Amino acid sequence: MANPNPGADKGTNFSQTGVIECGQQILNLNQPVVMGILNITQDSFFDGGRYLTNESIIDRAGLMLEEGASIIDIGAVSTRPGSAGVSAEAEIQQLIPAIEILRKNYPEAIISADTFRSATAEMAIEAGAGIINDVSGGTMDEKMIGFMADTNAAYVLMHIQGTPENMQVNPVYSDVTKEVSGFFRERLDFFESKGKQNIILDPGFGFGKNLEHNYRLLADIRHFKDMGYAVLAGVSRKSMINKVLKTTAAEALNGTSIINTIALLNGASILRVHDVKEAVEAIKLTETYLSVNS
């Protein structure tokens, strides 16, 4: 397997400063980057049903890349709270052709496949995905962790309590940061034993967490970054914003920008968003502020 840590020989921490291998491509994380969300589903909580045709998929991805997205994260299964999901066959039929279309039209783009199924992940990588974004952190397919350990695609290791169908039914933790950290550490020990280091950590905002849990994790992003891996913040238009501001997802752009800025100040390396332009602006302003006051 190719060296998953090209910056290691220089003494850099690949996922905090430097680069991370995404299959045959390299993601530069010297500064935070944006992952643009492309849901090719009927029922995603914000943009379900908007991007189902080849033309709309190409156009939407092109716009996000033009606005500054470094990654296009494409998913064919809604994981909104209460969703029951779709079959593996239906996911594959929708997702794989879309990845092939993106790879053909945007050969330089880094494509992330949003899936919790190892069989889908394998096909996605063959179709051109360089990142697998697994909302279950391997808890919904026991083969996923072993499969990802043997690939040179990057892996977004996300924490979830329960499943999308039941995750928001009274989530309980004694110490949410400690429990999420313990989950990460167990998985990372396995990956590190296999020599795999191109891992991205995602605390899973809104995935089996109540309002207090989400804001505690937001404050503790640097704790996860100190584990030695890049941290992804996926807060875009979520209920942790809307419950506080009494807004809907459609009204939550300003709130998203504010929470994204807090995440950046606390050490996030990747913002996963519906609105790329605004996230890029948040990164530019935050990086300017940090550079002047360093």
Active site positions, annotated: 238, 272
Contact call for residues 259 and 241 (beta carbons, < 8 A):
yes
Contact call for residues 97 and 116 (beta carbons, < 8 A):
no
Give the residue from 176, 138, 181 showing the smallest Cα distance to 157. 138
Structure tokens given for 237? 């238009």
* Gap between the Cα atoms of 183 and 30, Å rounded: 27
Which CA distances in Å does 225 have to 35, 51, 218, 231?
18, 33, 12, 6
Amino acid at residue number 288: T
* Gap between the Cα atoms of 41 and 24, Å rounded: 27
Give the residue from 117, 14, 130 showing the smallest Cα distance to 70. 130
Which CA distances in Å does 146 have to 47, 104, 112, 196?
32, 29, 19, 11
Q: Is 162 helix (H, G, I), strand (E, B) or coil?
A: coil
